[in-house]
Structure 1
Amino acid sequence: MRLLRVELARMRMRRAVVLLVVACFAVPALVWMSTYWNTREVSQAEKDQAAVQLQRTLEDPQTQRPYERCLASPDKFGIAPGDDARTRCEDMLLPTIDSYLSRSPLSLEDEMVSSGPTVAVLLTLMLALIGTTFAGHDWNTGSLGNQLIFEPRRVRVWWAKALAVTIGGAAVGAASLLLYWGGLWLLANVRGIDVPHSVVADVTTHASRALLLAVGAALLAYALTMLFRNTVATLGVLFGINLLAPLLLSSSGINNAERWMPHVNFTAVLQGGTTYYNPDLSDCAGDICQESLSSTAALTYFAVALVVVVVVSVWSFRRRDVP
């Protein structure tokens, strides 16, 4: 515990880590501001302008001709004889004022598939940078050798740093997600939008999954940096995994290649499951080519990768010389 407190104090004193922590709050705040602006209430001036545009469109002969043909021959437009032809033709062929008011009201349920994944990805990136920066500083400055003079048990030192990254990342990530989703919930209440308890529960689950992914990324980045002893090498590996791996898998000819792509598994964990394109399915045609991927399978995918990297990193740190 004493060693853990020392590592947590060392983490707080790193200027690069402090800047990244600030970014963990600043970036979701910018996303929140964008959501606030894009879901703001429509003003009366905008409604009046939309009404003028609607009237011009309705008076346009190019709009009226299909509508008149529909009224004259409703059967050609798929309208049954017993239906109200005028109403059906208006619904199909004439615009409404909503067509000119593109903004949708705030919905936390919709945000879980729009801005929520964006916040989760950015937070994962920030915490991964914190993990690699924290370990990389010790290697770049050579201070790790001095630390081992006071605590020669290397495995204990490795795990103390790992726990500091995990605890610090979890605290920062939880606070960031709480402020973001809490801010959206507060905004919905200020605007008089009812948020059902079921949606609050879904948002909590979504945020918990985002936090799990972000903290796992921080620990993975830390373990890679302790293995490679270089921040740049870690960033290169993470860059290659996320950007080059999908390209290599797509061109490798491996069966069911998309199943192993990081972004597909990330989405499956975050959203509680997803579907992906698998042309290797028998009788593949149209939607049949879509295969389901559960969150449990995707979480296992990341857990296995994390365990392997951690084991190799601990083994390397224990066996190799430390300058």
Structure 2
Amino acid sequence: MIRLTSVELRRLIARRLTVVGVAAVLLITAFLLFATWRNSQPLTAAEQQQNQVIFEQIHKDWELHGEENQAQCEKDWESQPDPKPTLEEMCNYTEPKLEDFGRPKTVFTEVIPDLLLGSSYLLAFAGFLIGASFLGAEFSSGAISNWLTFEPRRLRVYGSKLLALAVGMIPLAVVVLALVLGGTFLIIDHLGTTAGTTGKAWGDLTETAGRAVLLAAAAAALGGVVGSLLRHTAAAIGVAMGYVVLVEAVFGGFLTTAQPWLIRINFDAWVKHGTTYFVDKCQTSVDGGYFCETVEKTVSFEHGAWYLAVITVLLIAAGAGAFYRRDVN
């Protein structure tokens, strides 16, 4: 099995699409770092002067009409129908401060979680694409039948291909996530602030990156499974894109209560160690009115882990059964 896997790894690395995919991922990572650098740029002197002028105008208006506006707002609040917001939410005419105007400093601990999550999606997509192409091309070209003449034990061949895809994806994921973490820290340390980046914060970020690496490896293997089931790269990509559009976007958008059973939410729950989503809860009030409120729901890390594990095991088992029994010609 080890020798088979090493052979598959060499074949995977030698493929043109693998090289193109790796180059594309690295290029997109560089673009993410460039975008972070652009967004972290401090205000220019002209922008600071403009903010000063706007602040002085608003502060002057607050001095003249602040108490009047606050009193009128409180009066309007009393006549609001139930359910109504709190007084502090509706009427907040506190004194404006200069630091509230303009672009705030970029904070590393606030920016990096979203960058890691976005990089996780990028790596998972790239891994799925490379995996689907790796096995899909072998079936569509007929190369798999030639390979089985040298190694007729199908499950060993199937397992070695999936293992090679998973193992081969790990170095790319590690490099990309290290670039994102290190590059973002250096950029924001120079242009923004890295205050609050304690040892615990680094530990949490490292764990997040580790979970993203495992997910990228699993996505590559599952791409190989789908490619072997559909026997064509384009078909595998088409099915994946169809799922994203029809199920995740359309179905998930209309039936929000089903979100805990969609891949995206569980993907987020795994990477972020738990996530939240929102549903609209609508009901009729005592006076016959109809109103809706947005309720925040939670998907735990354990839920996401079990969900993704079950999906992975079922797909790999289905692929193994099809690979073992179906004609490869």
* Aligned residue number for residue 217 of structure 2: 215
Unpaired stretches in structure 1, ≥5 consecutive residues: 79-90
For the 8 Å contact 1:24–1:173, the answer to whether it is kept is no
d(CA) in 2 for partners of 1:75, 1:245: 46
Paired residues in the alignment total 305
Q: How many angstroms apart in 1 are the aligned matches of 2:152 and 2:184?
A: 48
Calculate the TM-score normalised by the size of structure 1: 0.82
| Distance in 1 (alpha carbons) for counterparts of 2:319 and 2:13 | 24
| 1:162 has 2:168 as partner | no
Say if 2:281 and 2:293, in contact at 8 Å, map to a contact too. no
The 1:49–1:227 alpha-carbon spacing in structure 2 relative to 1, beyond 3 Å, is same
Deviation at 1:166, TM superposition (A): 0.3
Distance 1:70 1:314 in 2: 70
Partner-residue secondary structure (3-state), 1:290: strand
How far did 1:94 drift?
Answer: 4.8
**Mapped contact 2:115–2:180 kept (Cα < 8 A):** no
- Name the residue aligned to 1:88: none
Distance 1:64 1:281 in 2: 41
Query: How far apart are the structure 1 equivalents of 2:175 and 2:231?
Result: 30
- Could you say what secondary structure the match of 2:277 adopts? strand
Take 2:93 and 2:240, find their aligned partners in 1: how far apart are those partners?
50
Residue aligning to 2:3: 2
For residue 293 of structure 1, what is the aligned residue in structure 2?
Answer: 299
Alignment partners' CA distance in 2, 1:51 and 1:189: 26
Give the distance between the partners of 1:259 and 1:74, measured in 2 at CA: 40
Q: CA deviation at 1:72?
A: 9.6
Shift of 1:212: 2.2
Name 1:128's counterpart in structure 2: 128
List aligned pairs for 1:92-241, cutoff 5 A. Answer: 92-107=93-108, 109-191=109-191, 193-194=194-195, 195-241=197-243
Partner of 1:22: 23
Letter in 1 for 2:17: A
User: 2:124, 2:142 → 1: CA distance?
Assistant: 28
2:310 aligns with 304
Structure 1 equivalent of residue 52 of structure 2: 51
Deviations, residues 91-141 of structure 1 (Å, cap 9, x unaligned): 93554333431243232x212443332222122111111111111221232
**Code of the aligned partner of 1:217:** A
When residues 102 and 230 of structure 1 are mapped into structure 2, their CA distance, relative to the original with a 3 A threshold, is same
How far apart, in 1, do the equivalents of 2:258 and 2:143 lie?
A: 43
Cα 1:5–1:290 shift into 2, 3 Å: same
Say if 2:112 and 2:181, in contact at 8 Å, map to a contact too: no
Return 5+ residue gaps in structure 2 as ranges.
78-91, 284-291
* 8 Å Cα contact 2:185-2:194 kept in structure 1: no
Alpha-carbon offset, residue 237 of structure 1: 2.1
| Paired amino acid for 2:303 | A
CA RMSD of aligned residues (A): 3.2
